[in-house]
Structure 1
Amino acid sequence: MSPTPPQWSFYPALERRSPASGVKRSFPRPAGRERGMDAALECRAMAEKKPFVAFDDVRLPENAFRELAPGERYEPVVPSSADVPEVTLRSIVQGAFWSIVFSAAATYIALKLGQGIESAIPISILAVGFSVFAVKVMKSRASTLLENVNVLAIGATSGIIAGGSVFTMPAIYILGLEGRSSFFQIFLVPLLGAALGVFFLAPFRRYFVRDLHGKLPYPEGRATTEILVAGKRGGRSAAVLSYSAAIAAVFDFVGPSMKGFSDIFSTGAIGALSGFTARTKAVFTMNTSAAVFGLGYIMGLDYAAIILAGSLVSFLVLVPLFGWLGQYIPAALPGGALPLVEMAPEDIFFDYVRPIGIGGIFAAGVISILKMSPVIVQAVRQAFGEIGRLVRGAGKAAAVPSVERQERALPMSAAILGALGVGTLVLLYFRFSVLAGVENAWGLALAAAVLALVVAFLFTAVSAWAIAMISITPISGMTLTTLIVTAMVLSALGLKGPDGMLQTLLIGGVVCTALSMAGSLVTQYKIAYWLGATPRRIEVSNLVGAVAASVATTAVILLMSKVYGFSPGPLHPNPLPAPQPNAMAAVLTGVM
C-alpha cells in the first residue's frame, strides 16, 4: 500500500527571458498573496532554479502513526527536495527566549510543588502564535514548519535542564555544602549531562524513530506535531486550534485557578461513598482538566485504554490490597509516616503503589536495552569503524552517499568522540573542581566519571523508551537509584562526609539531566521524522538551548536559596518545599 503523499501546492510558473541568452525559463510565482514565504525566499528559489514551494493544505501522511507494510516508505510532510528555511535568526532567538522563560518557570514550580512541567506543547503553541502575529501585525512572513521545529528544539531544553538541576542541586544547600559549590559548578552539571544525553542517544535515533515506526505511540510528540501542522495549515484548522486553546484556558482559569470547581473528580468526596472508601481504600479518581482531555484525544483510544487499565489496577486492586494488609501490619512500613490503616488511598499510592509502577517501567526499559543489544553492538562497531577510517585518512576517500534531510544526523564516530570528550570534561571537572586536595583524587575522580558515564548510558535508553511509550519518565526514581549506587561505591572507595555527598550529588545531577535530555530528544527526533526536519540541526540546537537553560536555571536556584531557602532555619522559617532535593539529602545523610 503506497503512502498518501503530503499535500503541496506549486505556484503557477512565470516565464522570464534571460537577457544573456534569450532563453525562456519558467519560474514559480505566487498566484496571489504568498503563503508562508516572503519575496526574498521566492527570489532565492528563482536564482537557484528550484521550485518555490508553499503550504496550501499541509497534512500528515496516512501512514504517519501506523506500522509500515513490507517495502513501504514513510514520506515526511516537508519533502527532502524542498528548499525550506530551518535554522534562522528568527528561530534561534525565539527558541532561546522561550528556553530562558520556561527554565525559570519550571525551576520555581518544581521547587514549590515538586512537579516538573513539560514545555514542548506550550512552546509549539507559542511558536504557531508568533507566526500568526508576524503575518497579521508585523506584516512579515510566516514561520516555516521547520523553523517552528527548530524553535521547539531550542526551547524544550528548559524543562530538561530544570528537571536535572532542581531534583539534585538544591540538596547542596539542604546539606550545608554551599560553601563548597559555586555558580559555575551548578551551571556545568546540567550542561554536561545534557551533552551526554545527546551523544548517548544519537546512535539509537534510527532504531527508535525509523525501525520502530508505528510501534511506539509518542503521545507528547504526536500532540506537538499535530499542533505544528494545524497551525501551519491555517484556515479552519488554525481557528479550531485557537478556539480550543481559548476554551481550555477559560475552563482551567474558572475551575482550578479561581476555585470555581475542582478539576479532580473523586468518589471519596461523595458522602454516600466516603465510608466505603475509608473501609476498603478503593477510590475512583479522574482528572478533568482540559490538558488531560486533549492529550487523551490525541493519543487515541488504544493507548489511553492502556493507561486507564494501569490506573484502575492501581487504585481498585493494589491500593485496597495494601489497605487490607494494614490490619495485619499495625506499624508503619519503611517509607511511610503512618500505619497503612491510617493512610489515605492517595498516600498509599504515592508511597507504595507508584514505586511498583516505576519499577515496572524500569524493568521494561532494561528489557528493551537487552533487546537493543544487537543495535548497540552494531552502532558501536560502526562508530569505531568510522573513527578507524578517519585515523587512516580514508574518511574523505570513502564518500558518503547523499541522504535525505530527515536522515542527516550526527555520524556514529562524532557521537562516540563527543561522548568521550564530555566524559573527559566530567573527569577533569570532578578532579579539579570537586576533589581538589582530597587524597587519591585522580582515582576517585576516574571512578566517579566512569560511574556517571555508565549509569547515564543505561538510563538514557530507559528514559527514551519510557517517553516514547507513555511520555512519562521516572526521573526522580532513577536519580534516587543513581544516588544510592554512587554513594555506596564512593563510600567503599573511602570518600565519605561532605566531599562524598557533594560528589554524589553532582554525579546524580549529570545523570538526571542526561536521561531527561534523552527523553526529550527522542520525541524531537520523531517530530523531525514526521515533518522532515534535519536531526543533526536538532542535536546542535539542543546543545545551544542547554547553555541558555543552564544559565537561567542556575540563577533561579541561587536566587531562591537566598530569598526562600530550601530547609527551615533562622533566616528562612518558611522555606520552599523542594520535596525531591530533601529526599535526596535524606538518602545521602543515611548512607554517607
Structure 2
Amino acid sequence: MQPFVPSDQNLREFSLRAVLIGLVMAVVLGSANAYLGLKAGMTIAATYPAAVIGMALIKLMKGTILEENMARTVGSIGESVAAGAIFTVPAFVISGIWPKFFTAGNYVTSSLIMFAGGVLGIMFVALLRRVMVEDAELPYPESVAAAEIHKAGARGGSGTKFLFGAMGIGAAVQALVQISVFASTWEKFAAFKTTTINLVGTWKAKVAGGMLLSSPGISPAYMGVGYIIGPKLGALNFSGGIIAWGLLVPIITYFLAPGVLPEGAPEGDWIALSYSVWKFIVRPIAIGGMLVGAGFTLFKMRKSLATGLTRSVSDVKKAAAGDHVVDRVNKDLPFTYVLGGIGFAAAVTFLVTWKIFHVGGLVSFVAALVMVILGFFFAAISGYLVGIMGSSNNPISGLTLTALVVTALVMVMLGVKGQEGVAAVLGVAAIVCVSAAVAGEMLQDLKAGHILGGTPWRMEMGDILGVALASVVLFIPLMVLHEGDITAQGTKRIAELTAQQVQTVTAPDGKTYTLDQVKQLPADQKKAVLSLDAGFGSKQLAAPQAGLMALLSRGIVEGKMAWPLIIVGMMMGLAFILMQVKSPMLVSVGMYLPLETTFAIFLGGLIKGAVEMFGAKRGLNEAQKVRVENNGVLLAAGLIAGEALVGLLFASFAFFEVKYKIFANPGMFWISLLILAGIAIYLVKVPLDNAGEADEPAPPSANF
C-alpha cells in the first residue's frame, strides 16, 4: 500500500505547534475520560476527537497533514493513560492501602506507575509495529476511520461532505440521548414459569427465572465500528453476547433465583439479579476464556512475532553497519532505546514494590520480571484486539484482571501476604494495565500514520512526551473528583446534623469531634469520621473496575478467589479452539462487553452486509464498489467522530455540574427505533447512490 505521503517526501511533522496542540488535548481528553470512567466505568476513544480538533487547528495555521497526524497521536494518548489510571489507582484507596489519597508519596507513586506503564507500552509497540500494522487480517477499523478524516480534510471536495455530514448526524443523535429527550435503552425481563424438578433421587428443587431482553445501544459510533469491521467479525463478537445473555445468565438465574428473590418479586429485582449474575459470575468465566484466547492468539502469531522481532534487530544491525537505510515510514525508535525503556519500566517496578510497598528484594525482582512478561503479552493482545475492533471496544479491564490474577498467584507462591502483598499486586497490575491501554492506542495511531505516511519514531517520541505529561497531571483530576465528592457529601451531612442540633460525633475509632472540628479535617479523615458514602467506590464515583481489582487482589492474597469460574472459562475457551472458532478471544470479549454494545456493533455489521448485497444486485463494477466502500467508511468515521465529540462535551458539562437533562424518566422508546432505522437507511442509501458511473476511474480504496 502506498502511503498518502510517500516515504521520499519530507513534510513538516514533529513541529512545536503540533506537539503542543497534542499535549493540551492529551490532558483535556484524558481528564474527561477519567471522569467518565470513575462515574460509569467506561471511556470514550479519543482518536476521533483528537483527529478532528487537531486537523481544524493545524489547518488554521496552514500546517501539513503529517502535523495533523502528530497532533492526533499525542492528543489521543492521554485517554489510554487515563483508562489505565482509573481502573487501578482508585483500588489503592478502596482496598485500604491508601487511607489518605492526596499525599506527596501517593502522587509520586501514581505518577511513576502511569509513566512506567506508558513507556513500557510504547517500547513494546516499537518492537511489534511492523508485524502488527502490516497484518492483512487486521482491519484496524478506527485507524482507517481516523486516516480518512485527515485525508478527507486534505482532499476537500465530496469526501468532506460525507464525513462532516455524518459527524453532524452522530453528534445530533448523541446530544438527544444525553439530554434524555427519549428513552435510549429498552429492557424487559421475560419470566419463566415456576417449576419443580427432580435433581438427585427424591431431592427436589423449586426453580424459577427468565431471560433479560435488551435493545441495541442507540449509538451511531458503535454502528459505525460495526460497519467498518463488517458482518463476519460483528457476528462473531455478538455470538459471545448471545452465549452470555441467552444461555449463561438465564440458566444461572433459573437455579439461583428461588434462594435470592421472593415469589412475585418485581421486574426490577429480576433485572438487577441478571446483571449481578453477569457481572460476578459470567464475566469471570469470560476472563477465563480470554486467558485461553490470549494464549491461542499469541501461539497463532508466533511466527509473525518472531519475524518482526528478528527484522527489528536486523534493521538495527544493518543501519549500524551503514549498509542499509530504513525508509522513513518504516523507521522506529532505535533498538537500544527500546531495551533501555523496558529496563526503565522494570527498574521502576522493582523500586516501587521494594521501597514503597515494602516487599522483599527477591519478591520485587520477580514482580518486575512478571510485569515485563505480562506487559509484552498484553501489549500484543491489546494491539490484536484494536486491530479487530478498535480501541473503543478494547477490554482493558479484562486484560488487567487477568494480569492481576497471575500476579497475585505469583505473590502468594512467594509467600507474600497482608497489605504489602495486596499493594504489590495492585502496583504490578496497574503498570500492566497502563501498558496495555497505551499499546492499543499507540498501535491504532501508528496504523493511521502508516496509511497517511507518518514517521513511526517521531510518533513514538511524541507519545512519550504525551505519556509523561498525562502521568504527572492526571492525579490532579482524580484528587479533585475524590476529595470534591467527600467535601460535598460531608457538607450535606454536617448540615443534617446541625439541623438535628447534634453538637459532636464519635468516629469509628472512638474519638469524639465537634462539628467545627470535623469541618477542618482533611477529606479522607472527614469521610471516616462521618462514615460517608463518598469518594472512590461510592455511589457518586463507583469506579467499578477499580473496586473489582481491589476485591480480587484481596481475595487471592487472602485465599478467597472464585477459581472454579476462571477454570470454567478456560475450559470454554479450549472448547472454542477445538471447534475451530475463528477467534475464541473475540467471542469471550463479546461475553465480557454489555449486550447493548455488541448488539449495536452487530447491527452495523449487518448494514455493511446489506450494502454489499445490494451492490452485487445492482451489478456494480470494481470501480463503483471502491467508491461505495470509501463513501461508507467516511460516513462511519463521521458517525464515530460526531458521537465522540458530543460525548466529551457533555462529559465536561457533568464535570462542571451543568444540568442538561430534560426528563428524569424519558419514555417514547419508539423514537430510538426510528433513529436506528434512519441511520441504517442512511448508511445503505448514501454510499450506493454515490457509486458513480461505471466508466469513471476507481479512486484509491479505503479498505486497508
TM-score, normalized by length of structure 1?
Answer: 0.75
Q: CA deviation at 1:505?
A: 1.5
CA pair 151-345 structure 1, distance change in 2 beyond 3 A = same
CA pair 546-303 structure 1, distance change in 2 beyond 3 A = same
Give 1:291's aligned residue. Answer: 221
Whole-Å Cα distance in 1 between the matches of residues 181 and 9 of structure 2?
Answer: 50
Q: CA deviation at 1:536?
A: 1.0
Q: Superposed, which structure 2 residues align to 1:512-531 within 5 Å?
A: 512-531=433-452
Q: Superposed, which structure 2 residues align to 1:128-277 within 5 Å?
A: 128-132=55-59, 134=60, 140-141=61-62, 143-178=63-98, 181-210=105-134, 212-213=135-136, 215-254=137-176, 256-266=177-187, 268=188
Do the aligned partners of 2:319 and 2:325 also contact (CA within 8 Å) in 1? no
Is 1:91 matched with 2:18?
yes
Is 1:407 matched with 2:330?
yes
Q: 1:311 aligns with which of 241, 256, 260?
A: 241
SS of equivalent to 2:474:
helix
Give 1:137's aligned residue. Answer: none
Whole-Å Cα distance in 1 between the matches of residues 75 and 366 of structure 2?
Answer: 34
Whole-Å Cα distance in 2 between the matches of residues 361 and 432 of structure 1?
Answer: 33
Q: 1:583 aligns with which of 548, 573, 582?
A: 548
Q: Which has the higher contact order (CA 8 A, sep 6+)?
A: 2
Q: CA deviation at 1:382?
A: 5.9
SS of equivalent to 2:213:
coil
Of 78-87 and 234-243, more deviation after overlay is shown by 234-243
Do the aligned partners of 1:107 and 1:557 also contact (CA within 8 Å) in 2? yes
Give 1:365's aligned residue. Answer: 294
SS of equivalent to 1:495:
coil
Q: Unaligned 5+ residue runs, structure 2? A: 194-207, 262-266, 487-522, 536-540, 559-704
Give 2:355's aligned residue. Answer: 432
Whole-Å Cα distance in 2 between the matches of residues 504 and 99 of structure 1?
Answer: 28
Identical-pair percentage:
27
Partner amino acid, structure 2, of 1:159: E
CA pair 172-384 structure 1, distance change in 2 beyond 3 A = same
After superposition, the C-alpha distances for 1:142-180 in whole angstroms (9 at most, x for unaligned) are x32211111121111111111111111112222333368
Of 192-201 and 465-474, more deviation after overlay is shown by 465-474
Q: CA deviation at 1:421?
A: 3.5
Is 1:80 matched with 2:7?
yes
CA pair 579-284 structure 1, distance change in 2 beyond 3 A = closer
Q: CA deviation at 1:507?
A: 1.0
Q: 1:419 aligns with which of 320, 325, 342?
A: 342
SS of equivalent to 2:153:
helix
Do the aligned partners of 1:484 and 1:588 also contact (CA within 8 Å) in 2? yes
SS of equivalent to 1:286:
coil
Whole-Å Cα distance in 2 between the matches of residues 464 and 537 of structure 1?
Answer: 19
Whole-Å Cα distance in 2 between the matches of residues 341 and 562 of structure 1?
Answer: 35
Whole-Å Cα distance in 2 between the matches of residues 238 and 342 of structure 1?
Answer: 44
Do the aligned partners of 1:379 and 1:412 also contact (CA within 8 Å) in 2? no
Do the aligned partners of 1:365 and 1:461 also contact (CA within 8 Å) in 2? no
Whole-Å Cα distance in 1 between the matches of residues 384 and 448 of structure 2?
Answer: 15
SS of equivalent to 2:24:
helix
Whole-Å Cα distance in 1 between the matches of residues 274 and 249 of structure 2?
Answer: 6
Of 98-107 and 221-230, more deviation after overlay is shown by 221-230
Partner amino acid, structure 2, of 1:580: Q
Q: CA deviation at 1:358?
A: 4.2
Q: CA deviation at 1:582?
A: 1.7
Q: 2:303 aligns with which of 374, 395, 417?
A: 374
Whole-Å Cα distance in 1 between the matches of residues 442 and 275 of structure 2?
Answer: 32
SS of equivalent to 2:216:
strand
Partner amino acid, structure 2, of 1:501: V
Is 1:103 matched with 2:30?
yes
Do the aligned partners of 1:382 and 1:412 also contact (CA within 8 Å) in 2? no
Give 1:46's aligned residue. Answer: none
SS of equivalent to 1:116:
coil
Whole-Å Cα distance in 2 between the matches of residues 515 and 372 of structure 1?
Answer: 18
Partner amino acid, structure 1, of 2:71: V
Of 367-376 and 103-112, more deviation after overlay is shown by 367-376
Whole-Å Cα distance in 1 between the matches of residues 315 and 12 of structure 2?
Answer: 30
After superposition, the C-alpha distances for 1:313-337 in whole angstroms (9 at most, x for unaligned) are 443344434344547x8469xxxxx
CA pair 501-308 structure 1, distance change in 2 beyond 3 A = closer
Aligned residues: 488
SS of equivalent to 1:287:
coil
Q: CA deviation at 1:556?
A: 1.5
Whole-Å Cα distance in 2 between the matches of residues 484 and 188 of structure 1?
Answer: 22
Indicate the RMSD between aligned Cα atoms, in angstroms.
Answer: 3.1
Partner amino acid, structure 1, of 2:549: M
After superposition, the C-alpha distances for 1:245-293 in whole angstroms (9 at most, x for unaligned) are 2232222222x22211122244x28xxx7889x9630524211222223
Give 1:280's aligned residue. Answer: 210
Give 2:533's aligned residue. Answer: 573
Do the aligned partners of 2:147 and 2:449 also contact (CA within 8 Å) in 1? no
Do the aligned partners of 2:229 and 2:388 also contact (CA within 8 Å) in 1? no
Is 1:561 matched with 2:517?
no
After superposition, the C-alpha distances for 1:339-376 in whole angstroms (9 at most, x for unaligned) are x9775544444444444444444433211211233344
Do the aligned partners of 2:116 and 2:344 also contact (CA within 8 Å) in 1? no
Whole-Å Cα distance in 2 between the matches of residues 490 and 237 of structure 1?
Answer: 55
Whole-Å Cα distance in 2 between the matches of residues 290 and 314 of structure 1?
Answer: 24
CA pair 427-347 structure 1, distance change in 2 beyond 3 A = closer
Of 160-169 and 582-591, more deviation after overlay is shown by 582-591
Of 419-428 and 446-455, more deviation after overlay is shown by 419-428
TM-score, normalized by length of structure 2?
Answer: 0.63
Q: Unaligned 5+ residue runs, structure 1? A: 1-73, 135-139, 333-337
Q: Superposed, which structure 2 residues align to 1:3-82 within 5 Å?
A: 74-82=1-9
